[in-house]
Amino acid sequence: MTARDAGNRFEDLALAHLERAGLALLARNFNCRYGELDLVMRDGDTVVFVEVRYRRGGGFGDGIDSVGAAKRAKLARAAAVFLSTQPRLAARPCRFDVLAIAGTSEAPALDWRRNAFEVG
């Protein structure tokens, strides 16, 4: 299995978890020059940009710890590009969530942080 296959498997787990919680998928793997948005969801009227992070073990910190200032800035720029392509969504409130997954795809441990960070 390639790293991309593993990434897709864990994104599938994250998507299923978020959909069970009532969020609706707007886009998946949106790419632009600033990077990729893993999942773009709708939670009521709010547009939610979800960064999915997988860590097999916690030796280097958990998945949430891995979303540092540089990554947050890239996500914010990519979100701005996404919104510029979707004018009907641009006026809605937005938030950035991180969904960290540890363990295996057979026995995952999910840690969903709503509004994990804000952009200024």
Break the chain into its structural domains and give their ranges. Answer: 3-115
- Which CATH code for domain 3-115? 3.40.1350.10
Dist. CA 117–CA 32, nearest whole Å = 21
Q: What secondary structure letter does DSSP report for 59?
A: B
pLDDT digits (tens, 9 = 90+) for 9-18: 889 999 999 9
The tokens describing 50, both together, are 């979800």
Averaged pLDDT for residues 68-93: 95
pLDDT digits (tens, 9 = 90+) for 56-76: 655 444 556 678 889 999 999
pTM confidence score: 0.90
- Name which of 35-39, 53-57, 58-62, 90-94 the model is least confident about: 58-62
Comparing 8 with 114, which gets the higher pLDDT?
Answer: 114
